[in-house]
Amino acid sequence: MTPTYRLTRTADAVLSGIDEYASLHFGEAQADAYLLAWDRIFVLLSRAPSMGDQCDELGAGLRRLLHMRHVAFYREIPDGILVIDIIGADRLPDRHLQSNRRSAGPHAS
């Protein structure tokens, strides 16, 4: 089986927001290129999950990878990776993820 990636509803919504923002401010071509880059990164991470940095202090088995202005948080799953969330690189991940822990758990989309 080829490794793959899945997005939580949160991660999917963030990518949609990034696409909308980038389209408005940088043009549709630039927005498409940024999302395509994330798709390629997620495919690569699904094949080699250890490429991202461990951040167990934020959650058991959690990893992160910085790409340009955003950080993706993910966990390895049997068939690849599950992208939990994506946040702006300038945000504090421990506070952000702690607030998300109080809400409903991740749901694959």
For the entire predicted model, the pTM comes to 0.80
Q: Are 73 and 97 in contact (CB under 8 A)?
A: yes
Picking from 7, 66, 68, 3, the residue whose alpha carbon sits closest to that of residue 33 is 68
Domains identified in the chain, total number: 1
Residue 25 sits in a domain whose CATH number is: 3.30.2310.20
Range of the domain at 31: 4-102
The strand pairing partners of 86, in sequence order, are 72
| Residue range 89-103: mean pLDDT, rounded | 56
For residue 108, tell me if it sits in a domain. no
**Percent of the chain clearing pLDDT 90 (strictly above):** 71
Conformation bin of residue 92: beta by default, left when phi > 0, alpha when psi is -120 to 50: beta
DSSP state, residue 4: E
**Tokens describing residue 78:** 């049997």
For residue 51, tell me if it sits in a domain. yes
pLDDT higher than 70, residue 102: no
